[in-house]
Amino acid sequence: MFFPDSFIDELKQRLPVSKVVGAKVRLKRYGTALKGICPFHKEKTPSFTVQDNRGTYHCFGCQAGGDVIEFICETEKLNFNEAITHLANLAGMELPKLSPAQQTVEKRRLGLIEIIAEATVWFSKQLKLSSNNHAHKYFINRGINDQDIEMFSLGYAPARGLLAYLVRSGFSNDLAVEAGLAIKTESKQYVERFRSRIIFPIKNQKKQIVGFGGRALDPEIMPKYLNSPETPVFKKNNILYLADIVRKTASVKERVVVVEGYMDAIFMHKAGVTETVAALGTAFNELHLQNLWNLADEVILCFDGDEAGKKAMLKAGQIALPILDPGLILRFCFLPSGKDPDEIIHQYGDSYMDKLLDLSMGLADFIWQEEIKQCKNNTPEGRAFFEHKIYEQVKLIKNPIVSNHYNQFVKNKLWQEFNQFNKNKKKNNIINIKNNSLDLMHNISSKQRLEYSLFARLIVNSDLIKDVNIFEELLHLELDNSSLEELRSIIVKCHEMKEFEQKHLNDLLMENNLGKLFEFLCGKKSCFIDQFSVLSSETAKDIWIITHKKYILEILKDEYYQIMHRAHSENKIYERAIELKKTIDKLNQEILEKENNI
């Protein structure tokens, strides 16, 4: 019998999973979840969890899990239709009555499911034949064993034979065409759609096989990958490969990972990332994302490390912005250039893939990083254009709470990137501190700009030179500018003076022909300071420390991005990347806190 999605949705709303499970299991609330003794295996300590907000249950002991329908199927030993009927009686809902037209549609749908299931059996048998040993050998060579083949229902489609088998089994050629298994030529001949291809069956959420993906073994056959066409039971925009088996693990791990290819998804599962699904070769869309967020609040996109993969992730980010809600997370896992998950796992191992996922970047940081790459120069006009573009992105967010936090994120990032100290705060007689970015040198890097700022502040507030901690940090600056290196030597001499005054520093600058550098850093047209002398010593020190933290941050970010854009096989490199990410996050937090106190 056919049950419309609207009927099943209403059924689940009327019967929270806790109500149905609670009739069989004594549940106790722990935060947002409920726990009890698992009804599927013997245990003394409760490991069985129910979450009404997700409509799911899961046992951490025996790994049983699913929704309210699956619970009734398992505990009452009913099939899907019987479980729906049972739940409808509990909810006091009448079963939907199908009109003659709806009955025809349902009969047609069931016929398609039946012929596709029969084709799956045939594909599976073909893979085991000695005549098709090359297909079986392909899987083995790729690292997929017989157990994997059975688990993922993999098969093989030879050049011919399927249609003849289906006709002998009582199915018509026209039904095979409607199911996407065959093509009717202009000469009205019927030919198999999948020929000389390994086969990946694709299931819907009811675990029914509704379509196939096929990969050509012969490099001369094009296209390399071929999916079933759109049919009444197969909608590419609404189906994800392996989503039928990911529901349980995604709920437990509280995330779902998305890759591009069938083989990528299988190898991710073999590597232990069993919350992985794959798109079906179609453009990532809003419906995909909504379905993913139904599986878990956190979605990680892990597309191939080529330009196409990066563009696809950027487009996914654009799709996500208008539908973001509090608690829904989209992250991006960047693979080394030119690599896909399959290659990463084979070349560098499971642990490397795990660490790349741990280092995935949030949507806000990803959009910022991609937009700032397009910031052509450091002029006021260039920065204004960048600021305009980044806020245009934020405007796409419809949820007011999420939008507010994104606006705050952008505001803080702009402040950090362009060193804009808040003009409205007044403390210790601060009159006004203008934008401290370098307007005169358009192509200067952030690290160089910060280096100049550090020295400019030391020259103008020479009391800082006597500060032991600041002096130590000054000695450890990684300078590649000979003029600044010379200036540092002069500052060291000043630090060693017993009775040091500002004039001593000025005299040494003049004696060493550094007058032009002094004018550049601290003169009337300086791009680094403005009315700096009105600051108290305490505030001047705080600003120098903030600037130095930003300088360190730039160095760490450079190292981190270099690691993330190339592959490594040494475990210490993974550990360094994780260490860098933690340090970067900590520094960002320290900078924000210190800035807010100025």
pLDDT tens-digit readout, 326-352: 989 999 998 877 788 998 898 888 888
- Written as one string, the DSSP assignment of 99-158 is PHHHHHHHHHHHHHHHHHHHHHHHHHHHHHSGGGHHHHHHHHHHT--HHHHHHTT-EEE-
End-of-domain residue from the set 211, 234, 257: 234
CATH assignment at residue 317 = 3.40.1360.10
Query: Which carries the bigger pLDDT value, residue 126 or residue 561?
Result: 126
- Per-residue CA distances from 6 to 2, 12, 236, 289, 291 (Å): 12, 10, 20, 20, 16
Residue 197 has pLDDT above 90, yes or no: yes
CATH assignment at residue 131 = 3.90.980.10
Q: Give yes or no: residues 288 and 339 share one domain.
A: yes
Q: Give yes or no: residues 364 and 453 share one domain.
A: no
CA-to-CA distance for 589 and 412, rounded, in angstroms? Answer: 11
pLDDT (0 to 100) of residue 329: 95
Q: Give yes or no: residues 296 and 230 share one domain.
A: no
Q: Give yes or no: residues 219 and 318 share one domain.
A: no
CA-to-CA distance for 67 and 51, rounded, in angstroms? Answer: 10
Give Cβ neighbours of residue 405 (< 8 Å, ≥ 6 apart).
none
316 is a domain residue: yes
Query: Which carries the bigger pLDDT value, residue 571 or residue 452?
Result: 452
| Phi/psi-derived region of residue 419, left when phi > 0, alpha when psi is between -120 and 50, beta in every other case | left
Q: Give yes or no: residues 520 and 560 share one domain.
A: yes
Query: Cis omega (within 30 of 0) on the bond before 380?
Result: no
CATH assignment at residue 10 = 3.90.580.10
CA-to-CA distance for 148 and 140, rounded, in angstroms? Answer: 10
Query: Taken in order 275, 281, 284, 289, is the CA torsion positive or negative?
Result: negative
- Is residue 158 within 8 Å of 132, Cβ to Cβ? yes
- Is residue 106 within 8 Å of 98, Cβ to Cβ? yes
- Is residue 305 within 8 Å of 340, Cβ to Cβ? yes
pLDDT (0 to 100) of residue 533: 47
Q: What is the mean pLDDT of the chain?
A: 85
- Per-residue CA distances from 119 to 156, 234, 390, 550 (Å): 11, 15, 51, 61
86 is a domain residue: yes
106 is a domain residue: yes
Our CA angle for 515, 516, 521, nearest 5°, is 100
pLDDT (0 to 100) of residue 413: 84
Q: Give yes or no: residues 452 and 500 share one domain.
A: yes
pLDDT band per the 50, 70, 90 thresholds, residue 566: low
Cα 372 versus chain centre, distance: 19
Query: Which carries the bigger pLDDT value, residue 324 or residue 471?
Result: 324
| Phi/psi-derived region of residue 433, left when phi > 0, alpha when psi is between -120 and 50, beta in every other case | beta
- Is residue 209 within 8 Å of 244, Cβ to Cβ? no
User: What's the domain range around 248?
Assistant: 238-368
Give the tokens for residue 234.
Answer: 């197969």
Least confident of 217-226, 384-393, 494-503: 494-503
Q: Give yes or no: residues 591 and 455 share one domain.
A: yes
pLDDT band per the 50, 70, 90 thresholds, residue 181: very high
586 is a domain residue: yes
Strands 298-301, 256-259: pairing is parallel
Residue 438 has pLDDT above 50, yes or no: no
pLDDT band per the 50, 70, 90 thresholds, residue 589: confident
Radius of gyration of the chain (CA): 32
Query: Which carries the bigger pLDDT value, residue 425 or residue 233?
Result: 233
pLDDT tens-digit readout, 264-278: 999 999 999 999 999
pLDDT band per the 50, 70, 90 thresholds, residue 119: very high
Strands 197-203, 155-157: pairing is antiparallel
- Is residue 88 within 8 Å of 11, Cβ to Cβ? yes
Residue 285 has pLDDT above 90, yes or no: no
- Per-residue CA distances from 225 to 152, 198, 222, 512 (Å): 18, 10, 8, 69
220 is a domain residue: yes
pLDDT tens-digit readout, 396-428: 999 999 999 999 999 888 877 775 433 333 333
Q: Give yes or no: residues 592 and 451 share one domain.
A: yes
544 is a domain residue: yes
CA-to-CA distance for 348 and 346, rounded, in angstroms? Answer: 6
- Written as one string, the DSSP assignment of 422-487 is -SS---TT-------S-SS-TT--HHHHHHHHHHHHHHHTGGGGG-HHHHHHHHT-----HHHHHH
Q: Give yes or no: residues 510 and 529 share one domain.
A: yes
Q: Give yes or no: residues 309 and 334 share one domain.
A: yes
pLDDT tens-digit readout, 297-311: 899 999 887 788 888
**What is the residue type of 545?**
I
Residue 489 is given by DSSP the state: H
**What is the residue type of 62?**
C
pTM reported for the whole predicted model = 0.68
pLDDT (0 to 100) of residue 352: 82
pLDDT band per the 50, 70, 90 thresholds, residue 448: confident
Residue 166 has pLDDT above 90, yes or no: yes
* Number of folded domains that form the chain: 4
320 is a domain residue: yes
Q: Give yes or no: residues 279 and 291 share one domain.
A: yes
Residue 156 has pLDDT above 60, yes or no: yes
Cα 526 versus chain centre, distance: 42
CA-to-CA distance for 502 and 424, rounded, in angstroms? Answer: 30
Q: Give yes or no: residues 173 and 223 share one domain.
A: yes
CA-to-CA distance for 544 and 535, rounded, in angstroms? Answer: 12
174 is a domain residue: yes
Residue 172 has pLDDT above 90, yes or no: yes
pLDDT band per the 50, 70, 90 thresholds, residue 436: very low
Residue 259 has pLDDT above 70, yes or no: yes
End-of-domain residue from the set 368, 386, 410: 368
End-of-domain residue from the set 368, 401, 430: 368
